[in-house]
Every structure is written in C-alpha cells, then in structure tokens.
Structure 1
Amino acid sequence: MDQEIIKYLLMGIITLTFIFDKTINYLNISRKIGDVPQTLDQYLSPDKLKESKKYQQTNYTFGLFTGGFSFILTLIFIAFGFFGYLDECLRQFGLSHIPLSIVYFGILFIGSDILSIPFDYYHTFKIEEDFGFNKTTVKTFFADKIKGYLLSIIVGGTLLFVLVWLILEIGRDFWWIFWIIAALFMVFVNMFYSGLILPLFNKLTPLEEGELKNTIMAYARSVGFPLENVFIMDGSKRSSKANAFFSGFGKRKKVVLFDTLLEQHTPEELVAVLAHEIGHFKKGHIRTGMITGILQTGIMLYILSLFIFSEQISYALGGNQMAIHLNIIGFTMLFSPISTVLGILMNYLSRKNEFEADAFAKSTYAGQPLAEALKTLSVKTLSNIDPHPLYVFVNYSHPPLMSRLKRLE
C-alpha cells in the first residue's frame, strides 16, 4: 500500500475513532434528568441528582477539550511527519536499534505526560475538588508522577528492550515468544501487584481483629474460600471515593478494602461487598479474565508481526527509513478499530460477570445489603443512574446501577 494512502488511512482512523467516542459521550450526557427512582428515594434527593448531572457534564466538557487537544496534536504529528522527524534527530547521535527505540518511546511518553500534567492537575484540584472528592495534596500528586515515571522506565523499558531485541534477532516469529513472556508478566503482576507495586503508592494495613473481621472470615469459611489476608488501603489520601478489589492466586490471595469503604458502609454491607468479590473468584472470573487478556495480547502481537517490517508505515509517519518504533506507533493506530471491538466484547463479558458475582453474593449471603451498598456508592460518587444504552454497551464494564438493583431486589 502506498505511503500516502497509509498516512491518510491513519488520519482517517483517528478521526473516526474520535468522532465515534465523542458522539456516544454526547448521547449519554444529553439525556434529560428524570425523577428519582422509588428504590433510591431514601438515598438520592432531586438536588443530589442535579449535582450528579452537573458532575457528568463538567467531566464531559473537560474530556471533550482534553480529547480534542490530543486528537489535533496527533493529527499534526502525522500530517507534518513529526514522528519521523524525531527519529531522524535521534539517529544523529549514532544510537543502535535497541537504544534508539527505547529513547524514542521514552521521549514520547515523558513528553506526552508532561503535556497532560496541567490537565490532570486541573481535574484533580479543580473539578474533583469542587465536587468534594479530592483528598490529594500537591506533594502526593507530583510524587505519584515521579514514581510512575520510574516504574515505567524500569518495567516498560525492560519489556521494550526484550521486544525490540526479539524482533531484530528472530524476525516476524518474535510474536509467539514475546507472547509467552507477556503472559508470564501478566500472571506475575496479578500475583504480586498488591505486594510489590501497590505499596509504592498506598499503605496496606491488615484489617483489625474484631467483629467485622470475624464476620468476614466466618462468611469466607462458609463458602469454602480460604481467606487469610484482608487489607485496608488508605484510599482517602487521594479521594473520598470508595472501592474494593481482589488480587492474587493461591496463598497470595488478597482482598483489599478502601478505608473510605469502611467509613461509608455498615458491617453487613461490607460483608456483602466482600461476598461479591469472592463470587468473582468462585465463578472463575479471575481465571477467565486472565486467559482472555492473554489471548487478546496474542492476537495483537500476531497482527503486529505482519506490519513490523513495513517500510511504508515508517514513511507514512515521516521517516526516511524503516524503523521498528515508527511501525509500532503506526500499528497501534491501525489496530485501534480492532481494539475498540475487543473492548466492547470484554465489557460485555465483564458486565455478565458482575451480574453473576451479584447473584453469588445474594445466594450465599444476602441481596439487600449489597443493594444498599451499591446505592450508597453510586450516590456518593455522583454516578449516572440513567446512562444511554449505547454508551453502556460500548464503555461500561459494570452494569448500570438500576439494572443491578432490579436483579438484587
């Protein structure tokens, strides 16, 4: 395919993706505010519903601006060949292939993140602050940035080194070897995330002995779930929003509850939330999600192998010669429609899993406490209780609140 055709194809894909995304967002945000559902009348007032809509509209406007900025900047980089120009500048230092690719992506990553800092800062200290969610200090904000850079350099740089080395040494067959490496890395991260990575950003404290822990442990034993590690995470150092998650396999299984979750919910509701999380494990969702993610990675790497040595993609991005890093960038743009479809399928599977985990919690513990917890979470986070069906279909990994309550109640 001619390089000019590829160039305009890349610009067309980016444009259509942007229009598709923003159109769905507009359909979602333009839905009129209805009455407060009867099941929420003790939790959600009309004023609170209006505040929720305002929060969503504010985030939509902000996302439209930031997304538009990124979209226009990417189009400019493609149209004027700036991706290739950066490659030419770096080649003047006499770098070999692997260091060249690592430095190239490092510059793009850090440059992109620096450009995003003012937007992130505004969202955290203006939007989230105005709606009462932000608990982050300026010190924590920039400390997170620095830690994120270091982690990306160490982990991302290592994986990139291995990827480029395999491409240069093995050729197109690199994909299945790197797939194995990526799969092992994904399993490793899932097993050790809460033990190695999470403590870099948050403090995990074992749940104190007492009635809550005894109730949680008793429930876990009743469903045959050997649970030894229940931790409280200091999520309140960044936001007032609450959450809970499950990670690890075997003896490294951990349930992590945000401290804000303990502040906002009754012990009965907390056990119901935990029952939902255990439901994901008992129903095999953790394992299925891992396998699906690994398969998706394999598909992506195989398709990448078909384009990795294309001179035309490098030329389309402004390069004067074939460059692996330019082809990886071009591939990510070409792959985005496939990625969108895969994302929709993954979200559909995730919503199905959430319903199953809710049903597990209802059958093994109780549905009402979980319903009460979902109501509190939704109201306190100003969630959209009436999202557009198409927006849900494309973007929601969890079913909308009213759909979950209908099944629970």
Structure 2
Amino acid sequence: MVIVLGFSLLYLWFILFPGKVAPEALHYFSAEQISQGRDHSRSQQLLFLIGVLTEILLIVWFIWSGKAAGFSGWLQRANGGNYYRSSLLFFLALWVVLRLIHLPLSYFGSFYLQRKWGFSTQTLGSWWLDYLKGAGLDLIFSAFGVLLFFWILKHWPRTWWLVGASLFSIWLVVQNFIWPVVVSPLFNRFEPAKDPAILSMVNELASKADIPVDEVLVMDASRRTTRANAYFAGLAGTKQIVLYDTLLKNYPPDQVKAVIAHEMAHWRQGHIIKGLTLGIIGNFLLWGLLFIFIRSVLPPSRYHPPYTWALTILFFLTVSFATSPLQNTISRSMEKEADQVSIQLTGDVAAAIGLQINLVSKNSSDVSPPAFIEWFSYSHPAVLNRIHLLQQTNINP
C-alpha cells in the first residue's frame, strides 16, 4: 500500500504540474495541438487515478472495518452454510457495488469526454448497449471464475495457488483463440477486405516478414469512434489482420502501410508469444504472493470464508497498479523494436514519422508528457521519443 500511495502522489503531482513542453514539439505540432493534448490527457489520467484509488480505498475500508467478515458470516447463516452459494452471493454484491461506483467514471470518460473531444460517434443508447454487453460478459466470466476459485480453495487448501495459476495460465492462451471469434463480433462487424491495393500491400509485407496471413478483415470502428488502429489476432497456424475502417478512410496509403508493418513486426519478433510467456511467469508469481497474503490475513484454517474474494480483489488491484511501470517498460521495449522492424519492412521512415504525427494530432495526445508519467503509464513510447527512434533507424538494402 505504501508503494501505491507513493506512486499515486507522484502521478497526481505530474498530472497537475506536468512541466514545460519540450521545445522540439513545436517542430511537429502547433501550440494549439500541444495545449489540447495536455488538456485531454490530464482528464483521462485523473479519471484513471480516481477510479483505481476509489476501488482500492473502498475495499480496504470494507475489509478492515470488519464489515466484509460480518457480511460474509451473515450470508453463510442465511444460506444454511452453503459454501458455494454464499461465496457467489458475496461476489455478486461486491461486483454490483464496484460497478455502481465506477459507472459515473465510465460514462464521463468513455462517453461524455469522448463526445466533447470529437472522438466518439456513438449515441447514448449505443453506449449503454455496449456497456451492458461488456458488464454482462464480465459478470458471466467472473462468476464462473469465482466459483472455480472457491472450488480450488476447498479441494487444495495448501496448493490452491499452484492450481489456480495453472488454470489461469491456460485461460490466457485460450482467450487468444475465442476472443476474436466469440466476443469481438458482439461489438463490431468484420468483413473481408476487398480493396486490391490493401490486399496487395498486406501480401507484400507478409512475404517480407515471412508471416502467413489467412484473412484480412475490416472492422466497422467508425460506428463508435474516429480513432484508427489495426491488430493481429490468432495463434499458431491461424492468423488474421484486422484494420479499422477509420484507418483506411482517414490515413494516406503509405501511413496505412506503416501501421500494418508495425503490427506484422510484433508477430515477426515473437512479441505475442513473449508476452504470453511473461504473463504466465508473472501469473504464477502473483498467485504465490496471493497465497502468502491471504495466509497472513486469515487465521490458519482449511476453510476460506466468502470475504476471501474481497482480499483477492484488493491484492490484484494494488499489485496491478504498483507493477504498472514494469508492465509498461516491457511493452514500450516491444513497441520500439516493432517500430524499428517495421522500417525494415517498408523502407519508408518518412511515412512512419508522418503516421506518428498524424495519430497524435487526431487523438489529441500529450506530445511531451513528464518522464514519470511516460515511465509509469505509457504502454507505447511518447511521440517525440518514437520520432527520435525512427530517425535513427537504418534501412537495410
């Protein structure tokens, strides 16, 4: 908790007092763009910090005030001591409270501000439909996970952390297969790309990268946002590239090519597999630490009461926040490597730099964030750092 408090205070300080903008930023962006980027980033960062701290402080109060244990005991008595029903009801109650607390922040951040800044193309009804779909999926997957969690606690009281880590690691792999096929189509439509120029571009880059691409799909991102992106999906022998329709509509062909090359570079360098591997290793470490944490809080017993779930949520919230710098440092390293490899694939430094400038301008990003903010919360290098890297990249003949 000390680390969380320290990072929170530093994060808040640099949000409110970001310091001077690097003079070099004016070479690429206007003063108005720089100011808008700062304002937009500040609002998003404040919402993130408020959301995380609100959840953490609420659960800390809930546990250490004794109310979690009291509510847990009441549920057990009301349900005749039924272990799984009491645990599930405890989860549901906590899930609803956290959802209700976070709802205003979700609305303000993902609808109101996105409309204000001109990024969202959704109506309020469409936003609510997406929110309810997402909440429903979260409820279903989480409820199943909670029941499985308490089943593991009951049957493996001393090695439950090892069983839990193993099952969750399997889930990390499985979701890469089911998410593009089952979940993503619930929110967007995907159609095969028909533009011969795009297909030719993908085939050319795939040949250079030595990556088989089974499908090139276009996603109707414009029904929700003006933002552009692309990503690869699939593992093993099935690979597909998904292009936002906003990317194809609003960016010139050489910059579209730069985006595709960047995503292919992730595959060529094995970042997806490396990310999964690191995730699995970290997963086992976290479950081991969770085991130690719960044993230090609960009295020694083979029985784990329903409020064990509140302890688990608190643990993962705090650890996720405290380890953000590590996670983002690894992510930025991969992004830098993908930028360099993408230049080898396209041979076009100017297009890659133009893409970064265009993305930041259209997305109103902070062009010169404080070093601490970038280190703590940026999964990609800040734009000036990316431009420096791209300029220094040598193109192989």
Return the match for 1:27 from 7, 10, 14: 14
Structure 1 residue 131, shift from structure 2 partner? 1.1
Structure 1 residue 301, shift from structure 2 partner? 1.5
CA contact (8 A) 2:12 2:46 kept: no
The residue type paired with residue 242 of structure 2 is: V
Bigger mean CA offset, 380-389 vs 334-343: 334-343
1:145 partnered with 2:131: yes
Bigger mean CA offset, 198-207 vs 328-337: 328-337
1:49 partnered with 2:30: no
CA contact (8 A) 2:79 2:85 kept: no
SS of the residue corresponding to residue 251 of structure 1 reads coil
CA contact (8 A) 2:262 2:338 kept: yes
CA contact (8 A) 2:325 2:376 kept: yes
Counterpart residue number, 1:172:
158
Counterpart residue number, 1:374:
356
* Distance across 1 between alignment mates of 2:123 and 2:88: 32
CA contact (8 A) 2:111 2:127 kept: no
The residue type paired with residue 181 of structure 2 is: G
* Distance across 1 between alignment mates of 2:116 and 2:329: 33
Counterpart residue number, 1:4:
none
The residue type paired with residue 328 of structure 2 is: N
CA contact (8 A) 1:133 1:241 kept: yes
Q: CA RMSD of the aligned region, Å?
A: 2.7
Counterpart residue number, 1:84:
69
1:230 partnered with 2:216: yes
The residue type paired with residue 73 of structure 1 is: L
CA contact (8 A) 1:35 1:46 kept: no
Residue 279 to residue 177, structure 1, CA distance change in 2 (3 Å): same
The residue type paired with residue 395 of structure 1 is: S
The correspondence of residues 3-402 of structure 1 with structure 2, limited to 5 A, is 14=1, 17-34=4-21, 37=24, 40-41=27-28, 44-63=29-48, 66=51, 69-70=54-55, 72-91=57-76, 92-308=78-294, 312=298, 323-334=304-315, 338-340=319-321, 342-365=323-346, 366-402=348-384
The residue type paired with residue 189 of structure 2 is: K
What percent of counterpart residues are identical? 23
Deviations 1:161-185 (A, max 9, x none): 2221121012121222232221221
* Distance across 1 between alignment mates of 2:11 and 2:233: 32
Structure 1 residue 362, shift from structure 2 partner? 0.7
Counterpart residue number, 1:11:
none
SS of the residue corresponding to residue 230 of structure 1 reads strand
Deviations 1:89-122 (A, max 9, x none): 3222325222222221122112211222222222
Runs of at least 5 residues in structure 2 that lack an aligned partner in the other structure: 392-397
Residue 72 to residue 88, structure 1, CA distance change in 2 (3 Å): same
Q: TM-score, normalised by structure 2?
A: 0.88
SS of the residue corresponding to residue 232 of structure 2 reads strand
The residue type paired with residue 365 of structure 2 is: S
* Distance across 1 between alignment mates of 2:299 and 2:265: 46
* Distance across 2 between alignment mates of 1:181 and 1:65: 32
* Distance across 2 between alignment mates of 1:165 and 1:78: 22
Total equivalences in the alignment: 389
Residue 343 to residue 325, structure 1, CA distance change in 2 (3 Å): farther
Deviations 1:260-298 (A, max 9, x none): 111221111111111111111111111110011011111
* Distance across 2 between alignment mates of 1:144 and 1:18: 33
* Distance across 2 between alignment mates of 1:345 and 1:224: 31
